Amino acid sequence: MLKLCPDVASFHAPVFISVAGNPKPVRIEAEFKFMGRKALQEYFDGIADKKDVEALSEILLGWKGVEAEFSPEALEKLLDSYPSAGGSFFEAFRKEVFDAKEKNSGR
């Protein structure tokens, strides 16, 4: 049965980060903050003038598969070291929020 309000505070999603010289991106697991439609709208409306590290700090709660524990400083270093990583995090978040229905449909 579908609940009117999900009782989850966060969700996990894979993030694929391109690494120069590697033929395949590296997969890490990210924990993102769960938001309803209104909160998502406010979030997306407010990130236009923010740097990736600021915008991601609002939705990214942790990670697995990175040699350092998650922190704002570690996130900033990762984003500086891997120029496409910011986009990879945003894409993973967007995909899980808006495309999860396909994964959960059992098809």
**Secondary structure (3-state) at 74:** helix
- Please write the tens of the pLDDT for every residue from 50-89: 999 999 999 999 999 999 999 999 999 999 999 999 999 9
Q: How confident is the model at residue 20 (pLDDT cuts 50, 70, 90)?
A: very high
pLDDT computed for residue 102 by the predictor: 55
Q: How confident is the model at residue 101 (pLDDT cuts 50, 70, 90)?
A: low
Helix (H) or strand (E) holding 48: none
pLDDT computed for residue 107 by the predictor: 45
Q: What whole-number distance in Å separates Cα of residue 12 and Cα of residue 30?
A: 6
Q: Are 10 and 61 in contact (CB under 8 A)?
A: yes
Which residues, at least 6 apart from 49, have a Cβ–Cβ distance to it below 8 Å?
none
